[in-house]
Amino acid sequence: MYIPIIPPSNDLEDLRKALQHTDVILDAIFGFSFKPPIRAPFDGVIPMLNESRLPILSVDIPSGWDVEKGNVLGIGLHPSVLISLTAPKQGVADFVGRHFLGGRFVPRCVLSLPGGSLKNSQRCISLDR
C-alpha cells in the first residue's frame, strides 16, 4: 500500500496531485474541539477534498463540524463513513452514511447496543439505522 506523505505547505498543488492517485480519504484533520472559522490552508483543503468525489472516512467527528451543532455552517467535510470514538457526538445526529462506534474505552453497556455480536477483542459496533 502506498500512502503519500505531503509536506506542510500553503500550496495545495501537491495535495491536488495526490488526490488523483488516491482511493479513499482518511479524515482526522481537526479534533472534536474545532471551532470555526477554518483557517488557511485548510479553508482550501476542505473544499478540495469534498469536490474530489472520493469516499471520505472521518474519525470521531468530520473535520469542519461543530461537536455540538454539526455542520450548521456547511463548511465541513461530507464523509460517507464515520467512526465515532467512545461515544457519538451530539453534532453528528444528522450524519447520513455508515456510522460505527469504536474505541478502546467504549463502556460494556454501550457495546451491548443492537448492531451485532461482539467478541472480547472487538471494540466496534455499527450504528447504522
- Tell me the backbone φ, ψ of residue 87, rounded to 5 degrees: -155, 150
Q: Does residue 68 lie within any of the structural domains?
A: yes
Domain of 75 in residue numbering reads as 13-126
Cell of 81: 463513513
Half-sphere exposure (Cβ direction) of 107: Cα atoms closer than 13 Å: 4
Asked if the model's pLDDT at residue 111 lies above 70, the reply is no
121, pLDDT greater than 60: no
Number of domains the chain contains: 1
Indicate the pTM of the whole model. 0.84
31, part of any domain = yes
For the segment 18-41, what is each residue's pLDDT rounded down to a tens digit? Answer: 999 899 999 999 988 888 889 999
